[in-house]
Structure 1
Amino acid sequence: MSASASSASPATTDNVAIKVYRYALDPTPQQVEILRRYAAAARCAFNFALGLKVAVYEAWKRHRDRLIAQGMTREQANKAAPKLRVPTRNRAQAYWRQTKGQPFIGPLREGEERPVSYPWWERVNNRAYYTAFEDADRAWQNWLDGLAGKRPPVGFPRFKRRNSSRESFRIVHSLTSPDIRFQGHRRIRIPGGGGQPAFTVRLHKTARALARKVDAGKAVITSMTVAREGHRWYASVVARVQHTPPAGPTRRQREAGRIGVDLGVAKLATLSDPLHLAPGTPAVEFVPNPRLLENTARKLARAQRVMARRYVKGQPPSKGYLEAKARVAKLHALLAAQRATAQHLFTKRLVQQYAEIALETLNVKGMTASAKGTADKPGKRVRQKAGLNRAILDVGFGEINRQIEYKAAWHGVTVFRVPRFFPSSKTCHKCGWIDTGQTLNDRQFRCGSCGMVMDRDANAARNIKLNAV
């Protein structure tokens, strides 16, 4: 898999844009061990901070449950239970510093030695811990905000398991004395700590674009996240880049005007006007769906069966199981990289060639809801709906919309949308007649008023172009 740097953040101010540049790494076997040690330390630090929060929460629940047992309602008990202070990052950090070198507290069996607390903290940069404490705070706050209705609800924060959580760590540094920096265009320096010296890791491809901006004072690196995806390690470098938004679209974009985009499954997108996906190729109005998940499904299913056969419940993972698990992870990583490439290519061409982009307002969560129903009212055609859900998620409607939004701001392009319930597929774009009897099986739109006949999705794209505001 070939992976290169890509900027993928919509955060932009008047003169500064917060951009993320993602680079594939080529670490040596010794460096892989260091990266895994950093990631394991960050995971343990996250669990340490979350454990403090959960302990306080469980104590509060015991108080509340006693009040409920005495006859209070749950709402009354929630208000009457004593308020306990949940430790935040600073408190977790202070407690960790106080106890990290001390033996565990508790009784010992005969002949046992008292282990030292947190043996994973050595030979790791301290900032990998502090950012993990921040991540625990964010996970806890997201759960609370979901309960309060301030954001979509999320589940109760979970501890990160050793063999199933994503290996990653994040490091921030001081902007006045940066520790994270490029050495040349093909190496990046990762800070050390705790007896581990700083080390440089080779990049799979050049970082010339960002390195030159940093050297010229046009960009400042603020943090870096290193993570393993499948068989590769990646470094996502966050930088504040000097950015002057364009005053408006270019002359070529203004001449092209507006384009309507209808996302779909049979075709990735149907366009109201032609789009050049690559230089020297003819323009297209139908962008084909690469069907990446469908093309990888057989290999993935075979690899997952091998992994399942090698798993023995209650036993430590064998070498064969770990190899099969790595094979499954590699296939998923390749699939994700191919999907991201297709999405970035399509969205980049859109914002480069048109001054206005008209989109649908999609409720992806509702579109991909399960059809299984309940025990009293079981759903119909559950397997077919599950297959449609997988196809929609494989295309990535939400990600394509997100990319168009932030890339449009970088290119002086305006994004318009039609209302969520606008019947773009059932309305004739010429005369406005609405076909109320149309079904999903009708792939041709036939107007009962003016007689116009054309592809259903092409008609929808034209309606989106004409009616987006």
Structure 2
Amino acid sequence: MLTGRRYRLEFDAGQRLSAERIAAVCRSVWNTALEQRRAYRRRSAFIGYAEQCRQLAEAKKDFPWLAEAPAQALQQTLKDLDAACRRHGTCKVRWKTRTRWRPSFRFPTPKQIPVQTINRRWARVFLPKFGWVRFRLSRPLGGAARSATVSRDGAHWFIAFLVEDGQSTPDAHARPETAVGVDRGVVTAAVTSDGEFFDRRHATACGVSSFEPPETGTADRAPDRGYLSPGEAERYLRLQRRLARARKGSARRRRVVRALGVVMGRVRRRRADFNAQAAHRLTRDYAHIVLEDLNVRGMTASASGTAAAPGARVAQKSGLNRAILDKGWYGLEVALRAKARYTGSVIDKVPAAYTSQTCSAPACGRVDAKSRESQAVFRCTACGQVEHADVNAAKCIKIKGQAAGPVVSGRGDLGGARVGEASSTRSTARGAPRAAA
């Protein structure tokens, strides 16, 4: 099975400059090749990977700066562009801008990136155009490297290996009869149908049968600052004020932006760690995990300039967007699919409509918006059942997932996952994830 391993590189000053130049060349090749594909498309013509590689080799004669980057890294850039255009369409593939793109490039040939262990804490890798480079061996590589991606995150450079670890997805989960529904929210990151609450600090169990509605004022509390400590939140606010006073294009503004990036880098790492731990717990304990089919990108789109009401409630929508992104809904889904490859768990996605307004009692199932009294309290207007609203929604998600039919295997490809079902949004995440850029 293919998996990713990410380590911090120890570049010297010259190697950092070389990495920046190589990444800039790869970005230029991507944008130029994308513009060429779009120009061909406007003429109802087509140009593919092979022809662009040939033209790239000829362009090196006229533009010597192209030779600063390894040939395989440039070819891999064109190959990634070709895959993106085939998957999404040429007109939907995005440009790589200097300000919104994280510098990165990839070496796809294992023979050209040998890895040697120096001692318990350090190892080194040979990179074309760089030579031998040390990296911090924070965890064992665990297999043979198939490719390597070099990328910059903040002030540091990292290398991510795609490794063949020799493991395979089990034919069935260790607990094949277990199933759970997971409701994702802005107050609690994830709540299961068994009453388990996963948030950034820890996972807690809620006694569903003895649930008591929270006191007034606690049910509708605003989401906190997420993965920032109180001191970091205060510093981040001060930096934002300093950024507002800095002149655009000034050195002072660049320093403030770098400081903001350091703070948010910690947030990203904490969020990824939480998602990994929550996914491990869920895939270890449950063979069938049901999620809501949420379009996170659409849900977090800006309210400014919309066709329906341009500029209406922009501040409120901005706060909701931050709360959703802070909880890492999509990151949890990605982590679940990655972890499911090692346990044989099945990941299902069901429509999210009315899950928060439906009573989960087996003999009821009443759909009524009035039953949702507050963010945390669900009181059915038909049968009178009182339950935590997130737990009730998770139970409804589980019921929807089980209604599609029994799961026939812990493995298998996308589609054909259930008895009598032609297709499904099920996945065991058997595909190999790309190493993190």
TM-score normalised according to structure 2 size? 0.74
Q: 1:282 to 1:387 in 2, by over 3 A?
A: closer
Determine helix, strand or coil for the equivalent of 1:223: strand
Of residues 38, 45, 50, the one that matches 2:22 is 38
Any gaps of 5 or more consecutive residues in structure 2? Answer: 208-222, 403-437
Q: Residue deviations 1:17-39, cap 9 Å, x none?
A: 22122223333334323322332
Pairing 1:231-250 to 2, within 5 Å after superposition: 231-250=155-174
Whether contact under 8 Å (1:289, 1:395) holds in the other structure is no
TM-score normalised according to structure 1 size? 0.69
Match of 2:215 in 1: none
Paired-residue identity, %: 27
Determine helix, strand or coil for the equivalent of 2:133: strand
Determine helix, strand or coil for the equivalent of 1:384: helix
Match of 2:151 in 1: 227
Whether contact under 8 Å (2:26, 2:105) holds in the other structure is yes
Q: 1:364 to 1:125 in 2, by over 3 A?
A: closer
Whether contact under 8 Å (2:182, 2:394) holds in the other structure is yes
The CA deviation at 1:398 is: 2.2
Whether contact under 8 Å (1:93, 1:133) holds in the other structure is yes
Whether contact under 8 Å (1:179, 1:189) holds in the other structure is yes
Alignment-mate amino acid for residue 169 of structure 1: F
Any gaps of 5 or more consecutive residues in structure 1? Answer: 1-16, 62-81, 103-116, 148-153, 215-219
The CA deviation at 1:397 is: 1.8
Whether contact under 8 Å (2:189, 2:329) holds in the other structure is no
Q: 1:260 to 1:303 in 2, by over 3 A?
A: same
CA distance in 2, matches of 1:303, 1:282: 32
Q: Residue deviations 1:94-145, cap 9 Å, x none?
A: 333334344xxxxxxxxxxxxxx343533x4322222223234345545636
Name the stretch that deviates more: 259-268 or 356-365.
Answer: 356-365
Pairing 1:104-115 to 2, within 5 Å after superposition: none
What is the aligned-residue RMSD (CA, Å)?
A: 3.5
Greater relative CO, 1 or 2 (CA 8 Å, sep 6+): 2
Asked if 1:459 is matched to 2:405, the reply is no
Which of 1 and 2 has greater Rg?
1
Whether contact under 8 Å (2:359, 2:367) holds in the other structure is yes
Of residues 340, 352, 359, the one that matches 1:427 is 359
Pairing 1:51-130 to 2, within 5 Å after superposition: 52-53=36-37, 56-57=39-40, 83-86=44-47, 88-102=48-62, 117-119=63-65, 121-122=67-68, 124-130=69-75
Match of 1:13 in 2: none
Asked if 1:265 is matched to 2:186, the reply is yes
Asked if 1:166 is matched to 2:102, the reply is yes
Match of 2:211 in 1: none
Alignment-mate amino acid for residue 264 of structure 1: G
Of residues 333, 346, 368, the one that matches 1:401 is 333
Name the stretch that deviates more: 339-348 or 321-330.
Answer: 321-330
How many correspondences in the alignment? Answer: 381
Q: 1:389 to 1:319 in 2, by over 3 A?
A: closer
Alignment-mate amino acid for residue 458 of structure 1: V
CA distance in 2, matches of 1:90, 1:416: 38
Q: Residue deviations 1:253-282, cap 9 Å, x none?
A: 458x3333221111112223265989xx98
Asked if 1:183 is matched to 2:143, the reply is no
Pairing 1:195-344 to 2, within 5 Å after superposition: 198-203=131-136, 205-208=137-140, 210=141, 213-214=142-143, 220-250=144-174, 253=175, 257-273=178-194, 283-285=204-206, 291-292=226-227, 299-307=235-243, 309-312=245-248, 317-344=249-276
Whether contact under 8 Å (1:41, 1:128) holds in the other structure is no
Alignment-mate amino acid for residue 13 of structure 2: P
Whether contact under 8 Å (1:41, 1:120) holds in the other structure is yes
Determine helix, strand or coil for the equivalent of 2:5: strand
Q: 1:276 to 1:360 in 2, by over 3 A?
A: closer
The CA deviation at 1:354 is: 2.6
CA distance in 1, matches of 2:106, 2:12: 20
The CA deviation at 1:341 is: 1.0
CA distance in 1, matches of 2:341, 2:287: 11
Determine helix, strand or coil for the equivalent of 1:352: helix
Whether contact under 8 Å (1:171, 1:223) holds in the other structure is yes
